[in-house]
A and B are shown apart, each in its own frame.
Chain A
C-alpha cells in the first residue's frame, strides 16, 4: 500500500477514447500542447490503427496475474486482458474517478443497510477460449487472490470485509461452496456478504482481483504465465517472467459487451528491466511508446522538456493522489507533547523541500492531510507560514510552550534507496536546526522500512524516531481509501504499520466508521473533511507535496489522456499512427 514510487493504487477504467473528451487540445489536427492530455484527449481517433504498441519499464512488471498485483500502473495495464465487475470511466478529467459497470449490468445493489451487495453480470461475455464467463469464475478469482497463502502481492480487502469464517482458500480447500462470503444463486448473480456495512463496497469491484479466473486453468503462482483473458487482448503463448511478453487480439472479446475498451492496435508488447535513461531516449526516438511505470522522466529529459518548448508540448504534468509527508510520532518524547509537534510544523520550509523534490513539476506544496485529487477536498492550512518557508519565531514560541525553549535532539527516518526522500529529510533537518532542534537522519532500506523500522512501533520507540518520512496514495479515490490505513487508531499494527505517528483519536475512528457504513456520498465527503481537519489539528502529519509526475507523450499515439483513476496515461484503447 504504501508509497512506492509507482504508487499505491487508485483504480480506474473507462470508456476508451470514446468518452466525453472535453478539455483542451484534443481536437484532431490541432497542435497538442503541454498538459494537453490532462483533462483532454490528444489525437482522439476511434479508427483502429493496427501496428504494435510498445511498453517498457526499468523494473519487471509486478505481475501479469490480475489477482496478484497492487501497483497503479499494473492495474491500469491489466485492463487490457482482465475485465472487472465494475470499472472507472475511461474518460479524462474528474470523470475518471467515477464508477461504471464493466462485467456487471449495473452498479451494486446494497441491502441490509450495506451489509449485502448484489451484482448482476452481463450475458455473452466469454474467456479467450470461448467459454462463457460465470459468476463462479469471479467468486473463484476472489477466493484465490484473497484467501490463499500463495498469492501475496495484492490487497486483502475481501478477506477483511467478507464474512467468510476461516475459509482456507481454493488451494487448500477444493470445495468452493465452503467459501461462504460470496454466493452465486445463478450463473449471472453475485451476492457478497459482509461482516459489517460498507458504503464504498462498489469501489472494491474495480480491483483486478474481481476479474474472472477459470478454476480449471488456475495454476497458482504459475498462472502469471498465461492469465486467461476476458479483455480485448490475450497473451501470445506463455510468458516467461523477466523476458517480456506480447499481447495479441482476443477473438472472443465482443466490443458490444464492452463500451470501455477498443482494439486499436494489432499487438501490444512489453519489455521489463530496461534502463531508465534509455527508456527516455527511446520514447523520443519513437522506438518505444510508453513507460509502463508512469513515474515520469529522468533528470536529463526533464531539463530538456522544461527548456525546449518543442519538446515541452509533448509532455504532461499531472498531479497524482500521492501525498508525501512526515509523520511526527505521538509516542516519542518530546513529541508526545502536541506543542512540540506544532513547532516542527511551523519550522518546516516547504519551499526548500519542494525544490529538492524536483520543483513545481515534481509536486505542489501540500497543506492538507487529504490529497487534492480526492472528491470533497477543501483547502485548509492550519500551520500557514509566510510563503510556506517556515516561521522561526512562531516555532520557537511553540517550543517554549512545550517546555523545550532551547530545542532538543531527535531523529528523522527515511528510506536510503530513495534519493528524493533523503533530500526531503535533509531539508527538514536544515529547517529544524534553525529553531534549535538537532535532528539526525536515520536511513533504512525501503524493503524493510514499513515492516521492521518506521512501521514497527516498538522499533520507533526504541530508536526514538520522532519524525518519519512517508507517502501514501489511496487505494480508491475517497477519503476512506486514504485515511483508513494511516489515521485510524485501530489500524496500528506491531509490524507493517502505516499509521506511523500512532495517532489514535476517537473522533477520527468514529468518523471513519460512520463514513464506512454510510451510503450517502455527500455525508461521507463531509466526514472526510472533518477527519482532514482533525488529523492536521493533531500535528502528527506534516504534508509537504502532492506529487506530480512529468510524462512524455510520443506524437504518434492516438487517444492519449491522463486517467485520473491511475494518475498516468490510460493504457487501453491507444492507437499508433504509422
Chain B
C-alpha cells in the first residue's frame, strides 16, 4: 500500500516535469524555431519604451541569453530550492516553491496563484457537488426505468447539455437571470466566502449551474450506460437469483461497479478544473486560475502560465492517486499493488 503510493507519487513527479517541460518548449523553443531571437523575446517584456538598453536589461534580468537548458534548470531549481532575484537595492528571496516572478509586473507567481485558487476552488466545489448529485441520480434512475418517460426526458436533456458550449449557456443565463429578470448578479461579482458566505453563494449560483449543467449531462449519460452494462452482468443475475431484494442488488452490486469509472473521471475532471475553469471564468468574469492563465498567455507571461499548468497537473496527479485509493473501497475486485 505505502509502496504503491510512493510509486504513484514518483510517476506524478515525472508527469509534472513533463508538463513543465512542454509549457517551456511552447513558449521558448517553438518561438525560437519560428525565428525569434532572445532580443525579440525580451522586447515582449519591455514596457512602452523599448530602448535597446531596456531590451538588454530585460534580457539579462530574465536570463534569456542563457542556453535553453540552463533557463529550464533555473525554473526547476526555483521550485525545489527557491531562488534569489535582484530587485534594485534589495535582493529578493523567493521561497520554495518558487515559480519565479511574472515577466509582466514583477510580482511573485506563487502568491498570485494562491490568490486565485479560492475563486476556482469555490466554483469547482459547488459545481461538482451539483453535477455529481444531479448527474448520477438521473443516470441511475434512467437506467433502472429504461424507456420510461423519465428516461427519455432525462437523456434528451443530457444530450442537449453535452451539446451546448458552456460559454453560450453562460451568456444565455446571464441575459435571462441577470439582465431581464434581475434575479442574480451580473458577471464578475465574486465575494470571498470569508467576507460574506451568503453573497459568496449568491454570486456563484449562475456559474455553478452553468458548469454543473454540462457536467451533470455527461455524468448522467455515463452513469446510465455504466448501470445498464453492469445490470446485465452475470453476477447481478446471480445476486437476483439468490433472492436479494432489488434495492440491495442495485446499490450493493450494480451501483458499486457502475460508479468505479465515474469516480476515475470525476477525479480527472475535478483536478483539471482546479487548474482553472477557463471558459466559465472568462464568461462570468471570475478572477480565478483560468482567467489568470488566459491573461498570462495573451501577455506571453511564461512564469504564470507555467505556474498554472503545473498546478493543474499537480491536482490531476493527486486526484488520480486519491481515486485509485477509493477504488479499493468501492470495488472489492480491485487490489492495489
Q: Do chains A and B make direct contact within the complex (CB under 8 angstroms)?
A: yes
- Interface of A with B (CB < 8 Å)? 1-2, 4, 8, 60, 63, 70, 144, 148-156, 159, 170-171, 218-223, 240-243, 273-278, 281-282, 300, 417, 445, 447-448, 450-452, 493, 495-496
Contact (Cβ within 8 A) A495 B87: no
Contact (Cβ within 8 A) B46 A496: yes
Contact partner, B88, options A63, A222, A273, A448, Cβ 8 Å: A222
Chain A residues with Cβ below 8 Å from B187 are 275, 277-278
Within the complex, what minimum Cβ distance (angstroms) separates A273 from chain B?
5
Which of the candidate stretches B20-28, B107-115, B152-160, B245-253 sits at the interface with the other chain?
B107-115
Within the complex, what minimum Cβ distance (angstroms) separates B165 from chain A?
20
Q: Indicate with 1 or 0, residue by residue over B49-64, a CB within 8 angstroms of chain A CB atoms.
A: 1110111011011000
Within the complex, what minimum Cβ distance (angstroms) separates A11 from chain B?
15
Contact (Cβ within 8 A) A144 B88: yes
Tell me if B95 counts as interface (CB < 8 A to partner A).
Answer: no
**Distance in angstroms between the alpha carbons of A221 and B60 in the assembled complex:** 16
Contact (Cβ within 8 A) A151 B88: yes
Chain B residues with Cβ below 8 Å from A300 are 179
Name the interface residues of B276-320: CB closer than 8 Å to any CB of A: 284-287, 298-300
Can you report 7 A-B residue pairs in the complex whose CB atoms are below 8 A from each other?
A4-B48, A154-B49, A220-B89, A447-B298, A495-B50, A496-B43, A496-B49
Contact (Cβ within 8 A) B46 A278: no
Contact partner, B61, options A150, A156, A242, A451, Cβ 8 Å: A150
**Distance in angstroms between the alpha carbons of A495 and B300 in the assembled complex:** 18
**Distance in angstroms between the alpha carbons of A355 and B296 in the assembled complex:** 32
Contact (Cβ within 8 A) B115 A495: no
Chain B residues with Cβ below 8 Å from A417 are 298
Contact (Cβ within 8 A) B58 A152: yes
Contact (Cβ within 8 A) B44 A447: yes
Additional pairs, 9, CB under 8 Å, beyond known A242-B115, A447-B298, A448-B300: A70-B47, A150-B87, A159-B51, A221-B92, A275-B186, A451-B44, A452-B44, A496-B43, A496-B46
Contact (Cβ within 8 A) B40 A452: yes
Contact (Cβ within 8 A) A495 B43: yes
**Distance in angstroms between the alpha carbons of A243 and B179 in the assembled complex:** 29
Contact partner, B47, options A152, A159, A170, A218, Cβ 8 Å: A152
| Residue with the highest number of chain A CB atoms closer than 10 Å, among B57, B88, B185, B188 | B88
Within the complex, what minimum Cβ distance (angstroms) separates A147 from chain B?
9
Tell me if B106 counts as interface (CB < 8 A to partner A).
Answer: yes
Contact (Cβ within 8 A) A277 B89: no
Contact (Cβ within 8 A) B90 A495: no
Contact (Cβ within 8 A) B43 A155: no
Contact partner, A222, options B48, B87, B189, Cβ 8 Å: B87
Within the complex, what minimum Cβ distance (angstroms) separates A446 from chain B?
8
**Distance in angstroms between the alpha carbons of A151 and B89 in the assembled complex:** 12
Q: Which residue of A lies closest to B88 (CB)?
A: A220
Chain B residues with Cβ below 8 Å from A152 are 46-47, 49, 54, 57-58
**Distance in angstroms between the alpha carbons of A153 and B285 in the assembled complex:** 27
Q: Indicate with 1 or 0, residue by residue over B96-137, a CB within 8 angstroms of chain A CB atoms.
A: 000000000111000110010000000000000000000000
Q: Which residue of B lies closest to A456 (CB)?
A: B40
Chain A residues with Cβ below 8 Å from B39 are 495
Chain B residues with Cβ below 8 Å from A221 are 87-88, 92, 106
Contacts A70-B48, A152-B46, A281-B189: A223 and B88 contacting too (C-beta < 8 A)? yes
Contact partner, A154, options B44, B47, B53, B60, Cβ 8 Å: B47
Within the complex, what minimum Cβ distance (angstroms) separates B94 from chain A?
12
Contact (Cβ within 8 A) B51 A156: yes
Contact (Cβ within 8 A) B87 A448: no
Chain A residues with Cβ below 8 Å from B189 are 275, 278, 281-282
Chain A residues with Cβ below 8 Å from B55 are 495
Contact (Cβ within 8 A) B115 A243: yes
Within the complex, what minimum Cβ distance (angstroms) separates A443 from chain B?
13
What 8 A-B pairs come out closest when comparing CB atoms?
A220-B88, A275-B188, A496-B50, A275-B285, A149-B57, A278-B188, A221-B87, A451-B43
Contact (Cβ within 8 A) B47 A451: no
**Distance in angstroms between the alpha carbons of A282 and B187 in the assembled complex:** 12
Chain B residues with Cβ below 8 Å from A276 are 188, 285
Contact (Cβ within 8 A) A273 B186: no
Chain B residues with Cβ below 8 Å from A154 are 47, 49
Chain A residues with Cβ below 8 Å from B111 are 240, 242
Contacts A150-B86, A222-B90: A242 and B47 contacting too (C-beta < 8 A)? no
Within the complex, what minimum Cβ distance (angstroms) separates A327 from chain B?
18
Contact (Cβ within 8 A) B47 A219: no
Contact (Cβ within 8 A) B88 A2: no
Within the complex, what minimum Cβ distance (angstroms) separates A57 from chain B?
12
Q: Indicate with 1 or 0, residue by residue over B159-203, a CB within 8 angstroms of chain A CB atoms.
A: 000000000000000000001000001111100000000000000
Chain B residues with Cβ below 8 Å from A273 are 287
Chain A residues with Cβ below 8 Å from B86 are 150, 220
Q: Which residue of B lies closest to A448 (CB)?
A: B44
Within the complex, what minimum Cβ distance (angstroms) separates A220 from chain B?
2
Chain B residues with Cβ below 8 Å from A2 are 48
| Residue with the highest number of chain A CB atoms closer than 10 Å, among B58, B92, B107 | B107
Within the complex, what minimum Cβ distance (angstroms) separates A14 from chain B?
25
Chain B residues with Cβ below 8 Å from A218 are 88-89
Contact (Cβ within 8 A) A242 B188: no
Contact (Cβ within 8 A) A1 B49: yes
Within the complex, what minimum Cβ distance (angstroms) separates B305 from chain A?
13
Contact partner, B40, options A144, A151, A282, A451, Cβ 8 Å: A451
Chain A residues with Cβ below 8 Å from B51 are 156, 159, 496
Q: Which residue of B lies closest to A459 (CB)?
A: B40
Contact (Cβ within 8 A) B50 A153: no
Within the complex, what minimum Cβ distance (angstroms) separates B61 from chain A?
7
**Distance in angstroms between the alpha carbons of A159 and B52 in the assembled complex:** 13
Q: Which residue of B lies closest to A280 (CB)?
A: B186
**Distance in angstroms between the alpha carbons of A273 and B295 in the assembled complex:** 11
Chain A residues with Cβ below 8 Å from B54 are 149, 152, 156
Within the complex, what minimum Cβ distance (angstroms) separates B287 from chain A?
5
Q: Which residue of B lies closest to A240 (CB)?
A: B111
| Residue with the highest number of chain A CB atoms closer than 10 Å, among B47, B58, B89 | B89
Q: Which residue of A lies closest to B90 (CB)?
A: A219
Contact partner, A277, options B107, B115, B285, Cβ 8 Å: B285
